[in-house]
């Protein structure tokens, strides 16, 4: 088997679990998208390392270290920098895409950091990080 020096759009999409449309119409339009190293068939070819660096720096959401046993409101989670707005958390809760609150005393929904972290792990682009 011939080892290829780089990746083309369909291979990038498969590697990172996204659609080819995302690669060609979204990622490749980003100003930091790497320069091609050649062409294979109808696709530009990119160095695999350059693509990995781009995804790490511009696509992956860096997981925020939440205190596992602390209760957070949706607003506090947003302010902690989880990459999701409080309104999105509330909307996802009504659509069963966010876990039920661990505490709702006084009519305020709160989630333990560990619960929020597990919910974030199920979303694309998050890496696991928990601080006790």
Q: How far apart are CA 125 and CA 82, in angstroms?
A: 11
Same domain, 80 and 55: no
Same domain, 106 and 83: yes
In the predicted model, is pLDDT for residue 57 greater than 50?
A: yes
Selected residue with higher pLDDT from 2 and 47? 47
Give the CA distances from residue 5 to residues 9, 49, 114, in Å, rounded to whole numbers and listed in that order: 14, 10, 41
How many domains, the chain?
Answer: 2
Range of the domain at 13: 6-59
Same domain, 10 and 33: yes
Is residue 124 assigned to a domain?
A: yes
pTM: 0.56
């Amino acid at each position: 088997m011939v080892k290829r020096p780089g990746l083309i759009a369909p291979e990038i999409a498969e590697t990172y679990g996204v659609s080819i449309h995302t690669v060609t119409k979204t990622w490749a339009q980003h100003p930091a998208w790497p320069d091609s190293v050649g062409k294979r068939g109808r696709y530009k070819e990119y160095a695999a390392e350059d693509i990995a660096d781009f995804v790490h720096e511009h696509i992956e959401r860096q997981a925020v270290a939440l205190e596992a046993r602390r209760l957070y409101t949706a607003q506090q989670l947003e302010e902690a920098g989880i990459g999701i707005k409080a309104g999105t958390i509330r909307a996802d809760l009504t659509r069963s895409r966010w876990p039920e609150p661990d505490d709702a005393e006084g009519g305020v929904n709160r989630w333990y950091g560990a619960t929020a972290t597990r919910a974030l792990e199920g979303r694309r682009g998050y890496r696991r990080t928990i601080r006790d």
